[in-house]
Chains A and B, each alone.
Chain A
Amino acid sequence: MTNVIIKNLMKKYGKTVALMDVSLEIKEGEFFILLGPSGCGKTTTLMCIAGLIKPNKGEVRLGGTVLSSSESGEFTRPQNRDAAMVFQDYAIYPHMTVYNNIAFPLQIRGMNKSKVESKVRDVSQRLGISNLLDRKPKQLSGGQRQRVALARAMVRDPKIFLMDEPLSNLDAKLRVYARAELKKLHEDMGTTIVYVTHDQMEAMSLGDRIAILNDGVLEQVGTPEEIYENPKNLFVAGFIGNPPINLIEGTLIERNGKIIVEFGFSSYELSNGIEIMKKTKTPEIMLGIRPENITITKESRENAIQAEVEVIEPLGRENIFHLRVNDKPLIAVSITNRDLNVGEKVWISFDTNRIHIFDKISQKKIN
């Protein structure tokens, strides 16, 4: 079993807390993403698994063996952990040829020459860099360097791969290509990968599961679908999705035996309002609705709110509509509604099953 178990991990730098009581389990063979804005603690978590950082508290286990534990004081040095890492800046040794770069982890472990050679040839063939083995890093393009870094990690057949934003230095076109390639590579190898990124697109497309971190706190762990469809709190809801989710302040009130959200300028009837009302203590809520779950119509419908079209972004496959509802901005995405014009008055209604209600104070999701 090469799963990773992290228990109550904490790391402080002076007074700033980089990680606060983070616990998670990464399953064997999983492509696991650590996602969050910069400074959220995702790289710190990765470094703790690698052993490059010693946590103040907590435990890290790899495949059943304890790598570091604040309780027992155990700490395995990074060179003795069976984890390979790909760095954001690739960190290829500039004075060595590509061959020596890839061979370095094997040579340092004292593997015999012929075995090293066959392994290096093997992995470089797999990544399509066999023709670059004699070159020095400065003669390589960004994409080639990235492959060399990947080859150096793969050549060891480690228990686990740790990747720190390995695609962020590639240009946009290459990144999409490399992303697909990385996913295919993972499917072939089946090795556990822990992957750090701030790019939600990368996270959604690569990850089997995603952990979202914010300010050193683990906000949510789940599959990309779970996180998108069912965000646990306002932060996750706001962080995932592009264009971002619409959040509207409102108050829950009861009218004629039905629960409605009162926005002040308008109101919206909730189909499952009774349940929500039961779960919440305060009536102040935030209603979240993703841009693609908004239906725009030219005529008024039941339970619809009036809005004005402000800007239309035609993206070809779909249109992004920037609407204004009583001076508040709202974004809708639709593949229909091609006949709308800027300045037009329209009616919007929400997909009832896709409405997210958050407690305004605790920021947690209620429904």
Chain B
Amino acid sequence: MKTNKIGSKKKRLPNPKRVFLYFLLILFVFLTLLPLWSAVMTALKTQEALIYSNPIQPPIKPSLDAFGTAFNELRRPILNSLMFTILATLLSCVLGSMTGYALTKVKFRGANTIFLFIIIGIFIPYQAVLIPLVQIIIELGLWGEISGLILTHTAYGIPICTLLFKSFYDSIPDSLINAAKIDGAGIGNTYLHVVLPLSVTPFVVTAVFQFTQIWNDLLFGLVLTGAGVSQPASVALLNLQGGFVTAWNVQMAGTLWYTIPSLIVYLVLGKYLIKGFMTGAIKG
């Protein structure tokens, strides 16, 4: 019986449907990776080689010069971006978590109305508030400063962070919060000792989301810092383009530098995205 089975497996011809499916999948992978391939190839070329070859061709003599040039241009902006992205991500996550906790577990009158107003904040397009935003930031004396970007990104991050945390806190049983109250913890201690330690998963999810969002932002960076010393990496990348000639190799090398922090965030925190920490919370 057993040998029969193995024998039949060996003889079996590939299913034509399956062959077609794999063909399609490979095609999609190819199409998806093509821009990345093209970017890497272009970044490895010299300015001259760009003229003689098409963007998909690999360079004959690979050179890392473009990476060096791009790095010199982007070093300061990337540090700027890292600073305000990390700070704004942390701040908006902490504030969103506190707001989410207050709205779900500290029962007070008007909580639903407040939540509604916060949610409306998600749907207001950035462009609609751009002029008053710039005016406020100038008024605060924060224009051209990294702190202005931290403030703006934190404020704009709170609604979505609140929404994400609230939906998670809705799943924490009320009895757990009640138990903490009975055990002697007030609102603050309950948050600190019970709610916060249970929030590892939503913190990671929200942080990854916020990091990507803030890191990729161009609009706020452009209007709140201009081309000054505090300009974010996204703005600097745009400025790499130059006025008359575009150095595609430098541009592509810059883009690759620019994606590295996001990539690291995904690689480091990715495994936490899948993990669940709430198992065993309630009856079993």
Contact = CB atoms under 8 A, between A and B. Distances in A.
Contacts of A93: 176, 179-180, 193-194
Nearest to A50: B182
Interface stretch (B145-153, B226-234, B276-284): B276-284
A32 to B, nearest CB: 18
Interface in A221-260: none
B183 A169 contact: no
A159 interface: no
Interface residues of B, number: 25
A268 interface: no
B178 A91 contact: yes
Contacts of B281: 94, 137
A78 B181 contact: yes
A87 B265 CA distance: 40
Given A78-B182, A142-B284, 10 more contacts: A88-B175, A88-B283, A91-B282, A108-B183, A136-B280, A137-B280, A138-B280, A139-B280, A142-B283, A156-B183
B138 to A, nearest CB: 45
Chain A: interface size category = 20 to 34
Interface of B: 173, 175-176, 178-186, 189, 193-194, 197-198, 277-284
Contacts of B282: 89-91
B176 A91 contact: yes
Given A85-B179, A88-B175, A91-B178, A105 B184 contact: yes
30 contacts: A52-B178, A52-B182, A77-B181, A77-B186, A78-B178, A79-B185, A83-B182, A84-B183, A85-B182, A87-B175, A89-B175, A90-B282, A90-B283, A91-B173, A91-B179, A93-B193, A96-B197, A104-B185, A104-B193, A105-B183, A108-B184, A109-B184, A136-B280, A137-B280, A137-B281, A138-B279, A138-B284, A142-B284, A152-B183, A169-B283
Contacts of B182: 50, 52, 78-79, 83-85
B280 A87 contact: no
Interface string A289-324: 000000000000000000000000000000000000
A94 B179 contact: no
- The residue among A78, A91, A104, A152 with the most chain B CB atoms within 10 A of its own CB is A91
A93 B179 CA distance: 9
B115 to A, nearest CB: 20
B25 to A, nearest CB: 39
Contacts, number: 85
Nearest to B182: A85
B187 to A, nearest CB: 10
B279 A108 contact: no
Interface string A46-72: 000011100000000000000000000
A209 interface: no
Interface string A129-159: 0000000111111100100000010001000
Contact of A94 (B180, B184, B186, B279): B279
A92 to B, nearest CB: 8
A338 interface: no
A108 B193 contact: yes
Contacts of A89: 173, 175, 282-283
